[in-house]
Chains A and B, each alone.
Chain A
Amino acid sequence: MPQPPHSTFSGCSTTGSSGPSRRNPIATTGTSFLLSKGHGPTAYYAVLAAKGFIPPDWLDDFGSYESPLGHHPDRLLIPGVEISSGSLGHGLPIAVGRALALRALGSAARVVVLIGDAELDEGSNHEAIAVAGRLGLDNLTVVAIDNGSASHGWPGGIARRFETEGWVGRTVDGHDHDELERALSVPPTQRGAGQTRAKHDARLGSARASLGPLPKATPPPTLGAPLAVVARVRQKGDH
């Protein structure tokens, strides 16, 4: 499969010659991390600095006029940041597109998107959850931080919303790093990876009408289940 060129048309504008060189996390880690709930990104920036994506001294004037580090991250200003976020409900649909792209390119890379339980209120997430489940994107992982801030809650639990749509769901104590690591490491093979369309639809109990025999062309991608890890953490205060 030919590799299309990278297509961002507005380059990083502030890094200059003193800027960091590790612009592409997927090349260095095999994982794309999309911070969908972009508010409170200080921990994110600290990790980017610790991992060498940005110089640590960038952290000092966070939010100032000349700083690349805003109160929501901007992917065109900060190396290693994969999406510009701030408005809720945008990261997961974009992550679905990236997972589809990586699958089409034959890449083994994985897309991880972090959302919040209140962010899940935004309907755009539910569009993306359904699409990702049906399209069998086993290279996609959602981490849903549940600090109980959704105004109307999620009766029956957050994981169930994903499982109904064909995802594999895990609910863990978000303060327990071992538990988190185990949940995040459920391999695609344990999520039905490599299934044909028919098997995948049967697994979902889908009433989707058969499309009939395919014309000779691109072989259809094999399908598995995306992974949703619900990380329960201490309740957030009023915000």
Chain B
Amino acid sequence: MPTMRDRFYAVTSELLASDPRTALVLADVGASRMRTTLERFPDRAINVGIREQAMVGVAAGLAMEGFRPILHSYAPFLVERAFEQLKLDLSYQGVGAILASVGASYDWPEGGRTHQAPGDIAILDSLPDWSLHVPGHPDEVEMLLRHEAKRILPAYLRLSTRQNERAHLIEPGRIVPLRSYSDADATIIAVGPMLDRTIEAVRDLHVDLFYATTVRPLDVDALAYIARNRRDVVLVEPYLEGTSSREVTQAVANVGHSGPGRTDPIQRMHADVTRSGTRVLGLGVPRAEHRHYGSGEEHDTAHGLDTSGIRRRIEGFLTGTSLSTT
């Protein structure tokens, strides 16, 4: 199956060729795959070597002169290693770039913690004005990348080797309702590559199922729907658990108070309970170091993020019973 990464390289090459405003700054990762483009546009397609701070600083300088730089590396090196550069060289200077990462939370489990970045979205969420995209299919990568190439604000594309069977008709910034009921027991929001297994997990449950590929800003209309209906919400995210829970609780809080919340202490430990009584469960990758190699599927199982784990935890949440990971 063609990967998101393949598509990113193909579309980026095409953007460099078609738009003189596009620039590419690499820090060795991807340089061999992009060699033809680096040779063809030596003035604005640059590999700085294994120097992530320079990669971001150089991109900021290019952006100040009107270029739209695309940066790319493994998520930990792109987002975490040079984070102050993202904060100061891009956000604080008032310029943007497109960051496309690979590796996701544990695309290469054998590589260990150094190549894993479950916290990438959470840390980027501390910066203003960023669009954070988590596509679930190569077609969605292409759509989001072409969309961002025309803009000037900072944007992050989180590519992963984990992907859904087929692409969905997404729109940047919008949550796609895949099914919804007037009397649904809850609203489930699956993010990017978590969709297929979430569809499977909730197949026979009476719940709304929404699909999100842009998680910041999170679709305000979808959040308003949730707030209006005062439904319990489950977020199924492929990165740090709870990353988007606050977005939902804030949206619900903004709608106002309507009676006592459910205050079972065990539920409160695992789920945010808003003042209106809407409960929010955030499924995702736990914070604890997980010192195992193996396959991504094995890590999914360990974190309760495979189909049966998601199913079990959603059921437990809805019935008020077990909420544990395993």
A residues in contact with B46, CB < 8 Å: 100, 135
* Cβ contact within 8 Å between B41 and A218: yes
Across-interface contacts of B49 in A (CB, < 8 A): 130-131
The answer to whether residues A127 and B94 also contact, given A97-B58, A221-B43 and a CB cut-off of 8 A, is no
| Across-interface contacts of B60 in A (CB, < 8 A) | 93-94, 97
16 A-B contacts (beta carbon < 8 Å): A4-B65, A7-B63, A7-B95, A8-B94, A83-B93, A93-B56, A93-B57, A93-B61, A94-B64, A94-B93, A98-B62, A100-B62, A104-B67, A127-B51, A128-B58, A218-B42
Q: Which residues of A contact B (CB under 8 A)?
A: 1-10, 75-76, 82-84, 87, 89-90, 92-105, 123-124, 127-128, 130-131, 135, 211, 214-215, 217-218, 220-221
**Least Cβ–Cβ distance between B24 and chain A, in angstroms:** 12
The reply on B29 being an interface residue by CB < 8 A is no
A101–B24 alpha-carbon span in the complex (Å): 12
Assembly CA distance A99 to B61 (angstroms): 8
Interface residues of B (CB under 8 A from A): 20-21, 23, 25, 35-36, 39-44, 46, 48-49, 51, 53-54, 56-69, 84-85, 88-89, 92-96, 129, 152-153
Contact A101 B48 (CB under 8 A): no
Instruction: Output the nearest chain B residue to A109 by Cβ-Cβ distance.
Output: B65
Give the nearest-CB partner of B47 in chain A.
A131
B147 shortest CB reach to chain A, Å: 16
Beta-carbon contact of B57 and A97 below 8 Å? yes
Partner of B93, one of A84, A99, A104, A221: A84
Cβ-defined contact, B51 with A131, below 8 A: yes
B44 and A100 contacting across the interface, CB-CB below 8 Å: yes
Nearest CB to that of B52 among chain A residues?
A127
Q: Chain A nearest CB: distance from B174 CB in Å?
A: 22
> Whole-angstrom distance between the alpha carbons of A226 and B48 in the complex?
16
A-B interface pairs (CB < 8 A), number: 149
Question: Which residue in B39, B57, B153 is a CB contact (below 8 Å) of A128?
Answer: B57
Most buried by B among A1, A6, A101, A135: A101
A94 touches B153 (CB 8 A): no
Are B20 and A1 neighbours in the complex by a CB distance under 8 Å? yes
Tell me whether A93 and B64 are in contact in the complex, defined as CB-CB below 8 angstroms, given that A7-B95, A9-B95, A221-B42 are known contacts.
Answer: no
Give the shortest distance, in Å, between A162 (CB) and chain B (any CB).
Answer: 15
Beyond contacts A2-B21, A5-B66, A98-B62: 16 other A-B pairs, Cβ-Cβ < 8 A, are: A4-B20, A4-B21, A6-B65, A7-B66, A10-B94, A84-B88, A89-B53, A92-B57, A93-B60, A96-B61, A97-B61, A100-B58, A101-B67, A124-B57, A127-B48, A215-B40
Contact A128 B66 (CB under 8 A): no
How far is it, in angstroms, between the C-alpha of A124 and the C-alpha of B65 when the chains are bound?
A: 21
Residues of chain B within 8 A (CB-CB) of A76 are 93-94
On whether the beta carbons of B89 and A94 are closer than 8 Å, the reply is yes
Complex Cα gap A123–B53 (Å): 9
Q: Which 5 A-B pairs have the closest CB atoms?
A: A97-B61, A93-B57, A4-B66, A101-B65, A127-B54
**A83-B93, A84-B92 known; A124+B66 contact, CB < 8 A:** no
Q: Name B42's closest neighbour in chain A (CB-CB).
A: A220
A2 to B65, CA, bound (A): 12
With A96-B54, A101-B65, A130-B51 as contacts: A75 and B94 at CB distance below 8 Å:
yes
Contact assessment for B93 and A124 in the assembled complex, using a CB-CB cutoff below 8 Å = no
A90 to B53, CA, bound (A): 9
Find A97's partner among B35, B40, B62, B129 (CB 8 Å cutoff): B62
Which of B42, B61, B67 gathers most chain A CB within 10 Å?
B61
Q: Which residues of A contact B57 (CB under 8 A)?
A: 90, 92-94, 96-97, 124, 128
Q: What is the CA–CA distance of A199 and B74 in the complex, to the nearest angstrom?
A: 34
Q: Which residues of B contact A221 (CB under 8 A)?
A: 42-43
CA distance A236 to B92 in the complex (A): 30
Q: Is the CB of A93 within 8 A of B43?
A: no
Contact B61 A95 (CB under 8 A): yes
Nearest CB in chain B: distance from A134 CB, A: 8
Given contacts A9-B94, A87-B84, A135-B46, contact A217 B41 (CB under 8 A): yes
Neighbour of B64 across the interface among A7, A123, A218, A220, CB < 8 A:
A7
Shortest distance from the beta carbon of A210 to any chain B beta carbon, whole Å: 11
Q: How far is the CB of A18 from chain B (nearest CB, A)?
A: 22
